[in-house]
C-alpha cells in the first residue's frame, strides 16, 4: 500500500526519500520491455538475468528493472548497465552468464554486445554516444529508460507530479492556460492545434460537467509512438491530463486506448491505481480541494475513432461516426458538454512546460512549431525505432544521421509522413525542416509522427493503392464522398496496378480528390486523397509507366512483373522447386538451372525468398 | 437576429438557424437527399454543400448543419459548388445506376452516366441517407432498424437481419425513403414492409363495421398500450367511428 | 439470461456509455458475441437491440461468429507492407484456404489482419495467439503454420 500524500511538501519529501533510498553505485540492470523488444524476446532475457543473478547469489546486491521502450527497436533486446552507463544491444539469453560475470561483477565491457556503426566500424559504449541517440532530444521519451511502468516511485524520483503540485497550489487555472499558450505547444496527434487555445475555449464554454480526454487511439499504420509512451511512462500522461483538467475546470476524464494495445491498457490501469493510492487522483488531491477521477476506455478496432467526435461517440456507447465540427467539441463534446481532447504526447509535454517554463520550451523547435516530436522511423531504414527530435531538424538528418540511412545500401526514394492522411516526400525535399507548416506546405502533414522510409523497391502507385485500401476499410460509411469516393479511387488504383489503367484515370482521380477534400464530413475523408495527390505530384512518371507502358519500375505490382531464373547463378539445389505452391518450377538435373513456367507462376515471390544464391530475379 | 447573404441576397435569420433553413424560407433551392425538416439534420449525402466565405477565406460546408452567423456570405451555385455537387451525384449514380429517382436527379444536374468503368457500376436502391433509421428512432420511437456494418459494407438492417421484434409495421420508413428502397404492400389482410435484404409481415386489423383492413395489429396494439386505451378501442376503423 | 453477462453489465453499472467495454468483456468471456447475450444486454440496459447490433457490427474487435483455436494475425501496417507483408498474407491464405477475417472449417485457425502491432523493426510480423514471429516472408509461412 502506497503512502497517501496530502500536500505539496509531501510530494517533495517522498521524492527525496526515494532518491536517498537508491544507493549510488549499486549495480542496476535495465532491460527494455517495450513491445518491440518484447517481440524480440526481452521477457526471456529478463528471466535469464534474474536466474543468473540468483545463481550467483547477488539478488540483494544487483537490481533489475524492466522498463518501457528505449526507442532503438532495431537493436532489441536492449540492456543498459549501471554503473558505467553501458549500452548492450541484441542481447540473447545465452549472453547472461558472461554479462553477469564480466560486466556486473568485474566492470568490464563486452565488446561484441556493443553497438557498431556499420558505416565506420566504430563501437560505442554509452547510449548518449550511440549515433542513433546522439542527435535526438529526448525530453519526453527519454525517461522511459528510467521507469518501470508498474512503479510510481520511479516517476516520482524523476520529479514526477511536482508540476501537478505546483499547479494546484501556486497557479490559478488561468495562469496555467497562459503558460501553455505561451509555450506554443501544438497538438501532437495530427491536428497541430494550439493546446493552450483549446484549453481556453473549453474553460470558457458554458456548461457542466466538463470532460478531458487523452487520445491514445493511435491508428496510423506504422506508428507506435503513443503506445510506447503510454506503456512506458503512463504517469507522464496522467499528470498532463490532471493539469489540463485543473486548467479547464474538469473533474472527470478518460484515457482512450486503441484496442490493439493491451499492454498500454494494463500499464495505464496500474498507474491509475497507484496514483489513486498516493493521493494524486480522487477527492481533495494533495489536500488542494481539487477532485478528479479518470476512466480507461479501449477502442473497438476502428481507425476513425482517433477522430475526436467519433471517439466521443464511442464513449457514449454509439458507433464511431464523426459529426460536423462547425460547433467545436470544446463547446459541445462528450454528452454535448464542453470537452477537451488531447493526444497523449501533447499531454506528456505539459508537466515539462510547467516545471521548466514556457521560455525553455520555446527555445526548442522552430518559429511555428515549438518543442520536440516523437517519430516512428520505420520501413527501409537501418535504424528502425522511435526517435524524438527538436522540430526543425531536417528529414535528411533524421533518416541518415539517426536512421543510419537506407537498408542494404539501396537508393532512397521517399519518406511517407502523416499516415493515411499524409503524403510521400521525395529525395529532392530531404533538406526540409520537420515542422507542422513545412510538411503541410509539401502536401503532406505531421500527423501522429509516422516516417515510413521507402527505397527503390517501393512502388509509389502501390503505396497510394495501399493507403486507399486501408481507408476504404476504415471509413465509417456515413458520408457519400468518403464511402463512395475512396472506393472508386481504390478501384482505379487497382486497375492501374494491374495494367488496366487508362489515360483518363489521372484526371478522374484528381476530380474525386477535390470533392473528397471539399465535402467530406470529417478529416478521414478530407485527407484521404493526400497519398494519391502527393505520389502523383512527385512520382508522376511511375503512374505513367503503369498506365502507358504497363510496367512497374519498382518491380512490385504483380500483374506487371515477372520472376525469372538467373541461369548463371542457379545450381539446381531445388529449394525453390520444393517451395513453389503451384509447382511452376521444374528441376532439370544437377548443376543445371531450373526452369520457371510463367504460365503457372502466381507471382507469390516465395522462390526469391528461399533462394540463397540470388538466382531469382524480378523484372 | 443576424443578417446573412445568399447568392447576393441579404436575408434576415434567427441565430439558431442553419443556412438550409434560411434558404428554404426564402425560396432559394439547394438540393438535398438526407434532409427532412422533422428530423435532426444528419449531413450524410453532402448534396446540400455550399460555398461560404467570411473574412476573405472560403470553404465548402454542409448547409443543413452550418449555423448562420452575422455577415456570413453563401454561394449556392458557384463553380466550386457545382463541380462538387456533380461529383457527389456521379458517385451516387455509380452506386444506384438503375434507380429511377437517382437517375432523374442526376439527369437534372446534367449527369447522364457515372465516369467510372461500367463493370463497377452497382445496382443498389438504398443511398444510406439514414432517413428510415432516424424516423424510426426519433419519431416512431421504436429503433427497429439501424445502420449496420461499416464503410462500403454499410447497410440498413434489423438486428441479425431477422424481422425485428420492435417493428410495428407503421410503414413510416417506406414513406420517408427518398429512393423507394423500402417498400410497403398491403394485400389480402397482410402488410409486408421490405427492402432488398429484410422484410417483415403483419396481420392487418379488420374493421368490425366496414370489413376493411386498415392497419397492422402490432402497430395498433403498440399505440393502444402506450396511450392506455381500452382493449376494443381500435376494433372500429377511423372512417366508421 | 446468463449470469456472467449480468455480472459484466453490473461491473460497469449498466452505464450506456460503456457499451463497448461491456461487449469487449463479453467477447473475451465467450470468444464471440452471441445473439442471446446481445439481447440480454439490450433488455437489461434499455438500449435498443438495433443499436447494440450496430455497435457489434461496426467495430472490428467484435465478431458474431465463433473464432478458431488459434488466432493468426498478420500485420499490414505501412512499414510491414513496404517490407512485403501482403505476400506473406497471400501465402497464409493459400495455405489455410481461407481469406482474411475467416475461420478454417476445422475451427483450428482464424485469420485476421491488423494495421500495425508496433514492432516495425521486425517486420513483416505475424502474431499467432500471444507469440510474435518477425522477419517473415512467404517462404517461411508453411513451416510456421506446421508448428500448430
Distances (CA, A) of A522 to A32, B30, B42, B159: 38, 22, 13, 27
Q: Which residues pair with C72 in a beta bridge?
A: C111, C128
Question: Tell me: the pLDDT tens digits for C130-145?
Answer: 888 988 998 899 999 9
Write down the pLDDT at residue B43: 96
Write down the pLDDT at residue C145: 93
Specify burial of residue C78 (Cβ count, 10 A radius: 0-12, 13-18, 19+).
buried
B153–A contact, CB cutoff 8 A: yes
Q: Do B65 and A492 touch (CB under 8 A)?
A: no
DSSP-assigned letters across all residues of A442-480: TT---TT-EEEEEETT--HHHHHHHHHHHHHHH--S-SH
- Chain C residues 86-125 with CB within 8 Å of chain A: 87, 90-91, 94-95, 114-123, 125
Q: Do B152 and A475 touch (CB under 8 A)?
A: yes
Q: Choosing among B133, B138, B153, B159, which should be mutated to test the C contact, i.e. which has the most C CBs within 10 A? A: B159
Q: Do C58 and B149 touch (CB under 8 A)?
A: yes
On the question of pLDDT at C83 being above 90, the answer is no
Q: What element of type H or E holds A540?
A: helix A540-548
Tell me the shortest Cα–Cα distance from A504 to chain B, in angstroms: 10
On the question of pLDDT at C118 being above 80, the answer is no
C-alpha cell at A109: 565491457
> How crowded is residue B188: how many other Cβ atoms within 10 Å of its Cβ?
6
Question: Tell me: the pLDDT tens digits for C94-114?
Answer: 999 999 999 999 989 999 998
Q: End-to-end distance of chain A based on CA atoms, in angstroms?
A: 65
Angle among Cα A251, A256, A257 to the nearest 5 degrees reads 145
Question: Tell me: the pLDDT tens digits for B19-68?
Answer: 999 999 999 999 999 999 999 999 999 999 999 998 788 999 999 999 99
Chain B residues within an 8 Å CB radius of C57: 148-150
Write down the pLDDT at residue A579: 87
Collapsing DSSP to helix, strand or coil, C21 comes out as helix
Write down the pLDDT at residue C117: 80
Of A475, A512, A515, the CB nearest to B151: A475
Q: Which residue from A minimizes the CA distance to B51? A: A518
Are the C-beta atoms of residues C93 and C111 closer than 8 Å to each other? yes
Collapsing DSSP to helix, strand or coil, B217 comes out as helix
- Cell numbers 447494440 correspond to C52
Write down the pLDDT at residue A429: 95
Whole-number average pLDDT of chain B: 95
Write down the pLDDT at residue A22: 83
Angle among Cα B46, B40, A211 to the nearest 5 degrees reads 95
Q: Residue A109: what are its φ and ψ, rounded to 5°?
A: -90, 135
- Chain C residues 23-42 with CB within 8 Å of chain B: 35, 38
Question: Tell me: the pLDDT tens digits for B57-116?
Answer: 899 999 999 999 999 999 999 999 999 999 999 999 999 999 999 999 999 999 999 999
Question: Tell me: the pLDDT tens digits for C20-49?
Answer: 999 999 999 998 999 999 999 999 999 999
Of B65, B87, B154, the CB nearest to A515: B87
Write down the pLDDT at residue A59: 87
Tell me the shortest Cα–Cα distance from B188 to chain A, in angstroms: 38
Are the C-beta atoms of residues A462 and A559 closer than 8 Å to each other? no
Write down the pLDDT at residue B108: 94
On the question of pLDDT at B153 being above 90, the answer is yes
C-alpha cell at A236: 507522464
Q: Do A515 and B83 touch (CB under 8 A)?
A: yes
- Collect the ranges in chain A with pLDDT lower than 70: none
DSSP classification of residue A84? T
Tell me the shortest Cα–Cα distance from B162 to chain C, in angstroms: 11
Q: Do A520 and B46 touch (CB under 8 A)?
A: yes
Q: Do A40 and C55 touch (CB under 8 A)?
A: no
> How crowded is residue C107: how many other Cβ atoms within 10 Å of its Cβ?
12
Rounded CA separation A380/A410 (Å)? 9
Complex ipTM > 0.85: yes
Amino acid at each position: 500500500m502506497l503512502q497517501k500524500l496530502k500536500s505539496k511538501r509531501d510530494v517533495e519529501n517522498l521524492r527525496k526519500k526515494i532518491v536517498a533510498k537508491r544507493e549510488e553505485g549499486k549495480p542496476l540492470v535495465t532491460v527494455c520491455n517495450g513491445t518491440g523488444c518484447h517481440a524480440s524476446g526481452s521477457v526471456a532475457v529478463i528471466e535469464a538475468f534474474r536466474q543468473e543473478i540468483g545463481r550467483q547469489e547477488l539478488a540483494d546486491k544487483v537490481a533489475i528493472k524492466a522498463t518501457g521502450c528505449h526507442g532503438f527497436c532495431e537493436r532489441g533486446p536492449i540492456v543498459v548497465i549501471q554503473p558505467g552507463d553501458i549500452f548492450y544491444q541484441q542481447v540473447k539469453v545465452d549472453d547472461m552468464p558472461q554479462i553477469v560475470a564480466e560486466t556486473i561483477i568485474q566492470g568490464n565491457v563486452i565488446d561484441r554486445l556493443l553497438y557498431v556503426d556499420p558505416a565506420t566500424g566504430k563501437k560505442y559504449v554509452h547510449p548518449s554516444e550511440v549515433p542513433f541517440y546522439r542527435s535526438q532530444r529526448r525530453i519526453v521519451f527519454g525517461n522511459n529508460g528510467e521507469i518501470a511502468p508498474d512503479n510510481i516511485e520511479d516517476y516520482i524520483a524523476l520529479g514526477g507530479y511536482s508540476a501537478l503540485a505546483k499547479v494546484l497550489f501556486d497557479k490559478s487555472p488561468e495562469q496555467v492556460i497562459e503558460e501553455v499558450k505561451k509555450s506554443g505547444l501544438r497538438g501532437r496527434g495530427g491536428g497541430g492545434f494550439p493546446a493552450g487555445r483549446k484549453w481556453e475555449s473549453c474553460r470558457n464554454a458554458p456548461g457542466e460537467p466538463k470532460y478531458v480526454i487523452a487520445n491514445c487511439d493511435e491508428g496510423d499504420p506504422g506508428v507506435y509512438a503513443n503506445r510506447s509512451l503510454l506503456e512506458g511512462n503512463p504517469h507522464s500522461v496522467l499528470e498532463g491530463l490532471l493539469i489540463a483538467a485543473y486548467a479547464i475546470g474538469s473533474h472527470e476524464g478518460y484515457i482512450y486506448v486503441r484496442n490493439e494495445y493491451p499492454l498500454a491498457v494494463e500499464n495505464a490501469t496500474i498507474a491509475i491505481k497507484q496514483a489513486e493510492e498516493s493521493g494524486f487522483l480522487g477527492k481533495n488531491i494533495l489536500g488542494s480541494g481539487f477532485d478528479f477521477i479518470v476512466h480507461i476506455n479501449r477502442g473497438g478496432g476502428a481507425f476513425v475513432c482517433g477522430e475526436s467526435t467519433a471517439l466521443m461517440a464511442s464513449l457514449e456507447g454509439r458507433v464511431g461516426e464523426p459529426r460536423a465540427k462547425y460547433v467545436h467539441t470544446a463547446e459541445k463534446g462528450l454528452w454535448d458538454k464542453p470537452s477537451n481532447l488531447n493526444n497523449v504526447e501533447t499531454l506528456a509535454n505539459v508537466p515539462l512546460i510547467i516545471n521548466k517554463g514556457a521560455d525553455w520550451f520555446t527555445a526548442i523547435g522552430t518559429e511555428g512549431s515549438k518543442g520536440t516530436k516523437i517519430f516512428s522511423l520505420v520501413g527501409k531504414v537501418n535504424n528502425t525505432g522511435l526517435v524524438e527530435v527538436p522540430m526543425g531538424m531536417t528529414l535528411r538528418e533524421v533518416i541518415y544521421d539517426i536512421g543510419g540511412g537506407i537498408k542494404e545500401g539501396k537508393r532512397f526514394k521517399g519518406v511517407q509522413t502523416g499516415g493515411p492522411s499524409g503524403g510521400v516526400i521525395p529525395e529532392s525535399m530531404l533538406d526540409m525542416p520537420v515542422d507542422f507548416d513545412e510538411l503541410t506546405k509539401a502536401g503532406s502533414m505531421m500527423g501522429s509522427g509516422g516516417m515510413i522510409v521507402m527505397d527503390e523497391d517501393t512502388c509509389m502507385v502501390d503505396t497510394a493503392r495501399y493507403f486507399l485500401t486501408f481507408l476504404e476499410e476504415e471509413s465509417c460509411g456515413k458520408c457519400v464522398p468518403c464511402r463512395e469516393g475512396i472506393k472508386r479511387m481504390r478501384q482505379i488504383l487497382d486497375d492501374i496496378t494491374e495494367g488496366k489503367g487508362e489515360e483518363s484515370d489521372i484526371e478522374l482521380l484528381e476530380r474525386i480528390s477535390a470533392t473528397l477534400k471539399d465535402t467530406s464530413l470529417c478529416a478521414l475523408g478530407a485527407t484521404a486523397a493526400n497519398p494519391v495527390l502527393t505520389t502523383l505530384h512527385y512520382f508522376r512518371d511511375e503512374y505513367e509507366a503503369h498506365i502507358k507502358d504497363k510496367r512497374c519500375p519498382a518491380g512490385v505490382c504483380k500483374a506487371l512483373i515477372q520472376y525469372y531464373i538467373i541461369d548463371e547463378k542457379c545450381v539446381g539445389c531445388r529449394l525453390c522447386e520444393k517451395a513453389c505452391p503451384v509447382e511452376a518450377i521444374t528441376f532439370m538435373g544437377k548443376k543445371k538451372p531450373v526452369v520457371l513456367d510463367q504460365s503457372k507462376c502466381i507471382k507469390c515471390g516465395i522462390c526469391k525468398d528461399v533462394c540463397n544464391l540470388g538466382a531469382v530475379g524480378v523484372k | 437576429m443576424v443578417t446573412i447573404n445568399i447568392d447576393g441576397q441579404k436575408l434576415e435569420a434567427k441565430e439558431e438557424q442553419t443556412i438550409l433553413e434560411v434558404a428554404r424560407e426564402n425560396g432559394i433551392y439547394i438540393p438535398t437527399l438526407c434532409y427532412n425538416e422533422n428530423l435532426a439534420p444528419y449531413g450524410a449525402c453532402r448534396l446540400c454543400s455550399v460555398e461560404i466565405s467570411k473574412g476573405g477565406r472560403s470553404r465548402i460546408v454542409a448547409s443543413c448543419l452550418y449555423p448562420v452567423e452575422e455577415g456570413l456570405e453563401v454561394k449556392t451555385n458557384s463553380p466550386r459548388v457545382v463541380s462538387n455537387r456533380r461529383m457527389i451525384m456521379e458517385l451516387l449514380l455509380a452506386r444506384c445506376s438503375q434507380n429511377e429517382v437517382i437517375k432523374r436527379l442526376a439527369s437534372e444536374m446534367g449527369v447522364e452516366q457515372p465516369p467510372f468503368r461500367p463493370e463497377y457500376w452497382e445496382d443498389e436502391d438504398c443511398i444510406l441517407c439514414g432517413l428510415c433509421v432516424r424516423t424510426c428512432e426519433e419519431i416512431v420511437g421504436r429503433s427497429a432498424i439501424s445502420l449496420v456494418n461499416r464503410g462500403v459494407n454499410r447497410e440498413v438492417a434489423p438486428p441479425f437481419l431477422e424481422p425485428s421484434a420492435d417493428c410495428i409495421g407503421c410503414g413510416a420508413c417506406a414513406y420517408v425513403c427518398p429512393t423507394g428502397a423500402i417498400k410497403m404492400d398491403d394485400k389480402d389482410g397482410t402488410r409486408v414492409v421490405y427492402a432488398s435484404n429484410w422484410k417483415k409481415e403483419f396481420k392487418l386489423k379488420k374493421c368490425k363495421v366496414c370489413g376493411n383492413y386498415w392497419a397492422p395489429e402490432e402497430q395498433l396494439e403498440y399505440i393502444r398500450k402506450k396511450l392506455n386505451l381500452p382493449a376494443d378501442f381500435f376494433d372500429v376503423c377511423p372512417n366508421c367511428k | 439470461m446468463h449470469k456472467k453477462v449480468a455480472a459484466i453489465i453490473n461491473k460497469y453499472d449498466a452505464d450506456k456509455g460503456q457499451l463497448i467495454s461491456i461487449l469487449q468483456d463479453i467477447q473475451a468471456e465467450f470468444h464471440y458475441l452471441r445473439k442471446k447475450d446481445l439481447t440480454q444486454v439490450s433488455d437489461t440496459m434499455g438500449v435498443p437491440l438495433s443499436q447494440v447490433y450496430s455497435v457489434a457490427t461496426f467495430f472490428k474487435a467484435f465478431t458474431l461468429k465463433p473464432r478458431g483455436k488459434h488466432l493468426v494475425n498478420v500485420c499490414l501496417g505501412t512499414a510491414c507492407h513496404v517490407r512485403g507483408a501482403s505476400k506473406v498474407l497471400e501465402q497464409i491464405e493459400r495455405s489455410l484456404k481461407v481469406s482474411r477475417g475467416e475461420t478454417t472449417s476445422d475451427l483450428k485457425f482464424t485469420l485476421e489482419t491488423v494495421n500495425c502491432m508496433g514492432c516495425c523493426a521486425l517486420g513483416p510480423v505475424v502474431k499467432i495467439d500471444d507469440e510474435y514471429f518477425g522477419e517473415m516472408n512467404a517462404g517461411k509461412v508453411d513451416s510456421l503454420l506446421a508448428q500448430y
